[in-house]
Amino acid sequence: MKSVLAVIEYIVKQNIRNKMLNVLTIFSIFIIGFSLAISELAQESEIRMLKDFGLFSISLLSFITLLLSVTIQMFEETELKTMHIIMVKPIKRSEYLIGKYFGIITTLFINILFMFIVLMLVINIRGSDPWELKLLLSVFFIFISICIISSVAVLFSVIATSVPGCVLFLFFTYVLGHLTIHLKKLVAHSENTVIKIIVDIIYYVVPNLELFNLKNKLETTYGLIEPSFFLFIIIYAISYISIILLISIKYFDKKEFF
Amino acid sequence: MEIVIEVKNLTKIYKSLDFWKKDTYTGIKDVNLSIYKGEIFGLLGLNGAGKTTLMKTLLGLLQPTTGSIKILGSSINNTEIRKYIGYMPELPYFPKYLKAYEILEYFADIFNIHNKRQKILQTLELVGLKGNEYKKIKGFSKGMQSRLGMAQALINDPEILFLDEPMSGLDPLGYKEMRDVLVDLNKNGKTIFFNSHILSEVEKICDRVAIMHRGHLIEPVKVSWIIKKFKSVESYFIHHVKE
Ligand SMILES: Nc1ncnc2c1ncn2[C@@H]1O[C@H](COP(=O)(O)OP(=O)(O)OP(=O)(O)O)[C@@H](O)[C@H]1O
Ligand SMILES: [Mg+2]
């Protein structure tokens, strides 16, 4: 347990100190702060747009942060061979990988928190309520979806033999993850069983990231999200992450370090 | 004498990383070797002979294709055993925005070392990095990175030290300092297994040496015997690797 904490601390420190990631965070804060300048009137519709823009930025920029962080780490691990030293220390490979995963999501938590605080400030300045439950829930779900895609990032970084390959596949997963639910709806009435099967496979293998986009779902007749749906997506996230991490550990246990 | 590393019929065949290619390359072939407690053992060989391959396989970084390896009577996959091991890879590298102290702190935490602060400062001093504890790796020279690589290998007071070309990148004073550190550790009963191209250093500190040639290990011999028969380790080495 202590070694897992040591790995988490190390990964977070490494990310926070990295100049490229810092520049990205400053850029993100600037983008969100910039929305203050474009929306001028405190009309309801303007504020709605402001919130949507802010949430969309947080979701996209946190993903880019993840990509960058994975690129940097994988480059060091494979090209510069930092893994060789740690793999000979008395830490189980599974512990290392778990530590790495939690290190990544801790970094992203901090990253999202920063951006969200800026968004809340902007909303406050525009005279709306930054503590609105809907807003808080939305950002919480953005974080959960980033946790899911981070588990996929860990898996790819274990399997992939090159950094660009890993990043490219992660990008595909992100895009597909947001599309699967729409794909499934599209082919629902199709006669072609082959296409249906392919879409089904994609639907169940690729994480369903659109589940976590609360933008439309929040506007139900209940006024707010249904508790059962809330529970469902939390369980979905935990199961998906656990399965992906277990597969990663299985691969990692057999991995050789050339 | 107590055997601390025991290698039997070890072969490592590299497979292509691209699964559609079938080509393989034999890194080391049928290696048998016993290392005794408290000795300094030098592994010599030309570039590409298989020295690093042997070391990485011993450490579990590579999986043996066939054969068996016992370290302190157990498998290296046993994390307990790894508490007694130190390893310095060739050309060690560390994340450049971290400080030397922070890097050693990370490893000290993994070993669960008590009074780690004292241990870290002491180890950095031992490898000649006193005064650079809080400097970022970004500002380290090549030799300073090697020294840090040595420091992380020593942080847990290992019983067995695996060093892959520990002298590379060091200045002439560094050679002497490294030699002193190794001899000193050895006096305290530590076993040292290292690869090197610097035959004059090998001659000064090793008890036994073995030559790796094209993946085959030539029977280990005592340095004192070499001096008697061949006058120097260099002429013994040339004698074996010459065409
Ligand atoms: N990942 C790999 N895939 C295929 N062949 C490899 C791989 N790594 C090493 N080899 C081959 O195995 C042989 C032994 O390499 P190794 O790194 O063990 O040599 P070495 O004795 O340490 O050499 P040096 O003195 O240059 O460090 C070399 O011929 C090399 O080409
Ligand atoms: Mg080598």
| CA–CA separation, B207 and A114 (whole Å) | 59
* Contact call for B106 and A161, based on CB within 8 A: no
Instruction: Write out chain B residues lying below 8 Å of A14, CB-based.
Output: 95, 97-98
Give B183-197 pLDDT, tens digit per residue.
999 999 999 999 999
- Find residue B74's DSSP bridge partners: B71
Distance B195 CA to ligand 1 centre (A): 13
Instruction: Write out chain B residues lying below 8 Å of A89, CB-based.
Output: 82, 107, 110-111
Sequence letter at residue B242: K
Report the residue of chain B nearest A253, measured CA to CA: B77
| CA–CA separation, A121 and A130 (whole Å) | 7
* Atom number in ligand 1 closest to CA B46: 25
- Alpha carbon of B77 to those of B62, B71, B127, B189, B243: distances in Å? 11, 10, 29, 24, 39
Sequence letter at residue A168: L
Report the residue of chain B nearest A81, measured CA to CA: B93
> Which contiguous run of DSSP H or E holds residue A185?
helix A163-187
* Contact call for A89 and B94, based on CB within 8 A: no
Q: Is B50 in the pocket of ligand 1 (CB under 6 A)?
A: yes
Report the residue of chain A nearest B94, measured CA to CA: A82
| CA–CA separation, A100 and A107 (whole Å) | 11
How high is the mean pLDDT of chain B? 93
B63–chain A nearest CA distance, Å: 7
* Contact call for A13 and B56, based on CB within 8 A: no
Residues in chain A, pLDDT under 70: 38-42, 214-225
Instruction: Write out chain B residues lying below 8 Å of A18, CB-based.
Output: 97
Q: What local confidence, expressed as pLDDT, does residue A197 receive?
A: 85
Q: Within a 13 Å sphere around the CA of A189, how many CA atoms are in the beta-carbon half?
A: 1
- Alpha carbon of A12 to those of A7, A18, A69, A151, B93: distances in Å? 9, 10, 10, 16, 18
Q: What is the ipTM of this complex?
A: 0.91
| CA–CA separation, B223 and B229 (whole Å) | 10
If phi > 0 it is left, if psi is from -120 to 50 it is alpha, else beta; for residue B28 that is beta
Q: What local confidence, expressed as pLDDT, does residue A41 receive?
A: 58
Give B112-142 pLDDT, tens digit per residue.
999 999 999 999 999 999 999 999 999 999 8
Q: Is B15 in the pocket of ligand 1 (CB under 6 A)?
A: no
Report the residue of chain A nearest B82, measured CA to CA: A90
Give B8-21 pLDDT, tens digit per residue.
999 999 987 777 77
A6–chain B nearest CA distance, Å: 6
Q: In this structure, how many other beta carbons lie within 10 angstroms of the beta carbon of residue A93? A: 19
Judge whether residue B99 has pLDDT over 60. yes
- The sheet carrying B208-213 orders its strands as B85-88, B160-164, B191-195, B40-45, B208-213, B216-222
* Atom number in ligand 1 closest to CA B53: 18
**Interface size, chain A vs chain B, as Cβ–Cβ contacts under 8 Å:** 76
The structure's pTM equals: 0.92
What interhelical angle do A133-159 and A163-187 show, nearest 10? Answer: 130
Q: What local confidence, expressed as pLDDT, does residue B15 receive?
A: 87
The tokens for B194 are 């290292």
Instruction: Write out chain B residues lying below 8 Å of A3, CB-based.
Output: 109-110, 112
- Find residue B69's DSSP bridge partners: B7
| CA–CA separation, A111 and A109 (whole Å) | 5
Q: What local confidence, expressed as pLDDT, does residue B18 receive?
A: 72
Judge whether residue B167 has pLDDT over 60. yes
| CA–CA separation, A240 and A207 (whole Å) | 8
- Which residue in the block uniquely carries the two structure tokens 């000064």? B204
Q: Is B14 in the pocket of ligand 1 (CB under 6 A)?
A: yes
List the beta strands (DSSP E) in A109-236.
none
| CA–CA separation, A71 and A14 (whole Å) | 13
- Which residue in the block uniquely carries the two structure tokens 């996230």? A237
* Separation of first and last alpha carbons in chain A: 28
Q: What local confidence, expressed as pLDDT, does residue B94 receive?
A: 92
> Mean pLDDT throughout B149-167?
95
Sequence letter at residue A183: L
- Identify the three-state secondary structure at position A18: coil
- Give yes or no for a contact between A159 and A168, defined as CB atoms under 8 angstroms apart: no
Instruction: Write out chain B residues lying below 8 Å of A5, CB-based.
Output: 109
Give A6-39 pLDDT, tens digit per residue.
999 999 999 998 888 889 888 888 888 887 776 6
- Give yes or no for a contact between B31 and B56, defined as CB atoms under 8 angstroms apart: no
Annotated domain spans of chain A: 2-254
Q: Is A258 in the pocket of ligand 1 (CB under 6 A)?
A: yes
Q: What local confidence, expressed as pLDDT, does residue A200 receive?
A: 83
Q: What local confidence, expressed as pLDDT, does residue B212 receive?
A: 95
For a pocket test of ligand 1, which of B29, B53, B63 has the largest count of ligand atoms closer than 8 A to its C-beta?
Answer: B53
How long is chain B? 243
Q: What percent of chain B has pLDDT over 70?
A: 100
The tokens for A247 are 């597969």
Residue nearest to atom 10 of ligand 1 (CA): B27
Distance A77 CA to ligand 2 centre (A): 18
Per-residue pLDDT band for B56 (boundaries 50, 70, 90) equals very high
* Contact call for B80 and A80, based on CB within 8 A: no
Give B170-229 pLDDT, tens digit per residue.
888 888 888 999 999 999 999 999 999 999 999 999 999 999 999 999 999 999 999 999
B228–chain A nearest CA distance, Å: 38
